[in-house]
Chain A
Amino acid sequence: MKSLWQPTLLAVVLSLAGCATTKKPVVALTGDIMVDGPNAIANGPARDRVLWQYRLAAAAMRQGKFDLAKQSLDDALLTLGGIFGKDPDAKKARSYFHAEAKKTFIGEPYERSMAYIYRGILYWMDGERDNARACFRSAEFEDGDAVQNQYAGDWVLPEYLDGLATTKLSGDGSDAFKRAQANAKGVKLPPYMPNANALFFVEFGPGPTKHATGQYKEELRFNTAASPVTSAELKVDSLRIPVAPTDDTGFQATTRGGRVMDHVLGNKAVFKSTTGAVGDVALIGGLTTAAASHDRTAQQVGLGIALAGLLSKVVSAATVPAADTRAWDNLPRYLSLASVPLSVGQHTATIQFLNSAGQVQTNLTKTITLNITTTDRDKVVFVSDTSVTPQTL
């Protein structure tokens, strides 16, 4: 007996020692994205880095910290642009025994598109209209493989901005305008004004979130809560410009259609269910046989079947079909744009956010002082209903 326990104890100790090296980095969250973001990017799991970079970039833009937003998005887009070919984490996410959330997060197509839209706005702020246009084209491109063709590449603002940038670069933006207008069902887009040197990118409302349904949480679903803000109004000098939403991220999230990964998760769920059922049958049948029989051989067979059933149950329990519900959770619901020509000098712009009844949500009103130094370069203003106010640009 002594000869059994000594090697067994050694094996257990070795096993536990091995487990000690598999600890995952845990990042304590404070609830302040400007603290949690950098901390999670630096110390959190590598697979969540892009998620935090997305979140940090959106928050930084709303606080006017555009350099931080650029840095976060540039790094995130590098990951996004280089995911081709073999990826051990993605392979793991497809395996029966790991959750989908094991893969490196790059987001669903609507999240990827939003990363490019934000980066495009930042390029435009820096006067790089063609790089901004490149980003808007990539934003549309990310949405290009929706299951139903009518929802493929159907963002309005990126298409509209593609044409506007082209027009401002002395090109012909009319094709992009037509595509944008075709996508903007029910909204009449303003024609391009090449002399409109002040561009107001406006976003409002809470964006979509993710949750999982199904017996094993294998089905990815999106929540789009009713937005307390449904439109906005821009006042600058003597102008009052209504700002209706051109894009709805909730619509983009829910119209992509089924993912290839959904089939993988479906298979995992079937496997988990089948192995569980087989385990139940084998366990009950085997134990019943062993208990009921007086024949030693039959008892051994029964116990063998029960053991096989137990193994099947273990395999079932280890199978993880859960969908990845990590989400870029500080996205806006609606996007829009307003553009006006402003002369050189100081101007004060006020953006009011309105609810579905057309009432101004006074606590959300933003004031921005614009210093226009030249009419040759666009003054790009980014305004969210959660932006800091007042701002001077």
Chain B
Amino acid sequence: MRTLLTKLALPIFAITITALVAGCATKGVKNPSGVPVTHMTADEQGFVAGTGMESQDLVMVADKMARSILGIPQIASAAAPPTIVLEPVDNQTRFPINKEIFLTRIRAQLNSKARGKVMFLARNQMEALEKERNRKREGQVTASADPTVQEFKGADYFLTGTLQGLSTRTKAGTSDYILYDFHLIDARTSVIVWEDSAEMKKQGLEDAAYR
């Protein structure tokens, strides 16, 4: 008996250690120490993704729209830089979004790439601007020009857009198609002088545990 147990000692020890190590390895916790912050460019898809709008879509769409606007004669051949007011995007998809972000990106792109070719009016700051002008008119603060003269510019164009979606959900998964449409409207004639669109389709299927 003693001989048998002595012979078994080493294999038992080895098996226990193996089981222990194997147990640790199969804890099933992926990235147990977490994932360090990963720098990614805004136009690449990260390891966290859904079927909704994401940063890479925003960058792609905004860049495409900015390039497209710059090419139209009303902007490229204008005698004086036209003034543009941004109007909120109409979100008709099933995804709640920060509606300002597309127009902010397009404006930033246009201001950066086409310096001086277009000017944007800060209509969303009108309240603060009017208060400042009134202070100047009342002499509460200094003015570098005659504050009684109306210098707030009117818009030549309105830039706005519509996001529309088509979504499907079945046992086979979820599919979301989104059409990003932007247009530039002549403020004097109401004519749409430019329109461009981008589209995206994403599909995914969640783990069976969630179905």
Contact = CB atoms under 8 A, between A and B. Distances in A.
Contacts of B30: 88
Contacts of A142: 169
Nearest to A82: B50
B6 A138 contact: no
A87 B17 contact: no
Interface in A1-52: 1, 3-4, 7-8, 10-12, 14-15, 18, 22
Contacts of A22: 27
Contacts of B193: none
Contacts of B211: 145, 259-261
A210 interface: no
A123 interface: yes
Contact of A130 (B24, B48, B99, B174): B99
B128 interface: no
A87 B207 contact: yes
B177 to A, nearest CB: 13
Contacts of A304: none
Interface in B139-198: 167-171, 174
Nearest to A122: B96
Contacts of A92: 28
B171 to A, nearest CB: 6
Contact of B90 (A10, A18, A169): A169
Contact of B13 (A10, A87, A88, A103): A10
Nearest to B4: A4
B208 interface: yes
B5 A85 contact: no
Contact of A4 (B9, B52, B97): B9
Nearest to A7: B13
Interface string B47-70: 011111000000000000000000
Interface string A134-146: 1101100110110
A186 B30 CA distance: 51
A138 B170 CA distance: 14
A18 B24 contact: yes
A264 to B, nearest CB: 6
B209 A264 contact: yes
Interface residues of A, number: 48
Given A8-B12, A18-B20, A130-B92, A141 B97 contact: no
A86 B5 CA distance: 46
A108 B154 CA distance: 52
A378 interface: no
Nearest to B9: A4
A14 B5 contact: no
Given A11-B16, A130-B99, A83 B92 contact: no
B169 A144 contact: yes
Interface string B89-121: 011111111010000000000000000000000
B127 interface: no
A261 B210 CA distance: 7
A169 B17 CA distance: 68
Given A14-B20, A119-B96, A138-B94, A94 B208 contact: yes
Contacts of B90: 130, 169
Contacts of B9: 3-4, 7-8
B71 interface: no
> Counting chain B CB atoms within 10 Å of each CB, which of A4, A12, A86, A169 scores highest?
A4
B23 interface: yes
A123 B211 CA distance: 28
Given A11-B16, A84-B174, A131-B91, 13 more contacts: A7-B10, A7-B13, A10-B13, A11-B20, A18-B24, A84-B50, A85-B204, A85-B205, A94-B208, A103-B210, A133-B91, A137-B167, A141-B167
20 contacts: A4-B5, A7-B10, A8-B13, A18-B20, A18-B23, A83-B210, A84-B49, A85-B207, A91-B28, A91-B207, A128-B96, A131-B99, A134-B94, A134-B97, A137-B167, A141-B167, A142-B169, A144-B170, A145-B211, A261-B209
Q: Lowest 3 CB-CB distances: which A-B pairs, in order?
A: A84-B204, A11-B16, A90-B207
